[in-house]
Structure 1
């Protein structure tokens, strides 16, 4: 029996679950913990994943986190977590600047990884982490939840139906006033709007248009007092004449809209960060169709389920966010920062 089929067959026969551990105990770690607990109680996922452990640099903080969510194990160091043979998948919930180093550490310890977006701080780090995944033969996938959500396939299906004609332009924005969070303004942690919120409109554009040759990028930003980007505007011109525009900010609020413009109509997506509904309009701006998205636990469950199933199938990447897509987005963001002359202290 092959390794690919063997692990899944064993899991189905013995009702094995993928034990998920969280590395880090910050805000996003709490969101993931809530998700794992909800999945454990949901018939769709309870035989697939189990909330197992958390590790933080402070043992007391880790213990409190574990007690709050009912995780059976907590560790006061990342090394202790990685030494635990029962850990199958590590969700990396630390700042961008730490993802590459910690991801490689997990993989070399024999642990599959689900790495919070932005995958790394730059493309060079992304290549280093993806090389480790290939070297170890373990799963390494980026946790950008919009790539895994059902809304993505719904948008793809609408575009493929031809109802809006040929897509010629895409516009997406995501802005939150989050400059009060220390990590957002710290250059040493790869802070700024681009890697934290700008990554979503860029991924929305990429999901709709897919990989295609870029003719040029025009990007501008307003810097924060610490030097990181605070407010961004990005236009991408493709060789086939298609255009895309993205806006991101950590200073203001926006409508968070995603817009796909075609020759015979257009699509409006409410909240690209977690699509709440999709409206289709004809060329006369009349509502042609409305699509509700499926009810969800938290929205994070899809990436966890995809990662767990990939592990059971012996895969090193998830189809929803393959390594090539992750690297393309990282290279795009490097190019944008290059226009700004923005680098981080560790680069």
Structure 2
């Protein structure tokens, strides 16, 4: 496969960032875009010189010229949108959070595997070179054994309807907290022994702010905070037995600074030049498709399902259930 033909489902901010990225990538062709409004799709297509615009998701999924569809719709729609794509034989790159809950995510993955199609979660930091750099630093033993980590991510986005509406699977957890959970997963893996948490809800009943503590084997701990009401420094800090390191911006690692037992800076790793950072998940998807894989090794299905299961448990603790889940 030389150039991968890609379609985008949805025309929001993230879809625009992906389009801006892909038009600068010679490895792919941004072939089509779909919205529930043909006018919006046509405007988006004109902006990025995309060949085709569709006024329905069904038309996009049915186009035989497209191989991979990037899903950039609200969390509540990922399940039905992904099923539509898979039923039409399309590979899927699905924006995070992958689904609204574990049950939906499992069905999406099972269907992809049944049809021998690639599906992966667009958790972009997982695909970036800096994620591998972080693993290499930890493996080197320069900070000793990592025992504790903290991570926080918060943005001033509580004015956006998709963030606060329960029917759109809103809340800080699925929108930004998923990054803190993935950061912890990158460092400590997925074997969690205990989950405890606190939450502050919006008037609409979804989580506005949350604090999560995860315990792991051998006495390891992660403390994670996310919010849609405040602005945070976005740092991830990993504390080891011989020092610690600071990751600037867990949402797109800008740098990793390593400190010794005297808290003196030892070494700094800077992020390599990138288009936007979104190119890596697209290239990983292309490689997986070419190799006949149903998942990307950077974001295994097992990890996607693990994180979904953790988020289900957190929402259970908080008493948050989305309206459409009552039918599941």
Relative to the length of structure 1, the TM-score reads 0.93
- 1:31 lines up with 2:17 in the alignment: yes
Inter-partner Cα distance in structure 1 for 2:185 and 2:248: 17
Q: CA deviation at 1:282?
A: 0.3
Q: CA deviation at 1:27?
A: 1.3
Q: CA deviation at 1:193?
A: 0.2
Partner of 1:49: 28
Matches within 5 A, 1:179-194: 179-194=158-173
Inter-partner Cα distance in structure 2 for 1:220 and 1:199: 16
Inter-partner Cα distance in structure 1 for 2:104 and 2:190: 21
Matches within 5 A, 1:43-192: 46=26, 48-192=27-171
Q: Is residue 10–residue 72 contact of structure 2 (8 Å, CA) maintained in 1?
A: yes
Equivalent pairs, count:
325
Relative to the length of structure 2, the TM-score reads 0.98
Q: Deviations over 1:139-198 (max 9, x none)?
A: 000001011011101110100000000110111110001001011000000000000000
Q: CA deviation at 1:83?
A: 1.4
Inter-partner Cα distance in structure 1 for 2:144 and 2:15: 41
Q: CA deviation at 1:340?
A: 0.7
Partner of 1:318: 296
Inter-partner Cα distance in structure 2 for 1:239 and 1:272: 24
Partner of 1:341: 319
Inter-partner Cα distance in structure 1 for 2:114 and 2:282: 23
Helix, strand or coil at the partner of 1:60: helix
Q: Is residue 188–residue 216 contact of structure 2 (8 Å, CA) maintained in 1?
A: no
Q: CA deviation at 1:239?
A: 3.0
Partner of 2:196: 218
Partner of 2:305: 327
Partner of 1:43: none
- 1:243 lines up with 2:221 in the alignment: yes
Q: CA deviation at 1:121?
A: 0.3
**CA RMSD, Structure 1 to Structure 2 (Å):** 0.7
Inter-partner Cα distance in structure 2 for 1:333 and 1:304: 25
Inter-partner Cα distance in structure 2 for 1:343 and 1:82: 30
Q: CA deviation at 1:215?
A: 2.3
Inter-partner Cα distance in structure 1 for 2:213 and 2:62: 46
Q: Deviations over 1:21-74 (max 9, x none)?
A: 0001111111111011121xxxxxx1x211111001111110110000000111
Q: CA deviation at 1:318?
A: 0.2
Inter-partner Cα distance in structure 2 for 1:330 and 1:336: 10
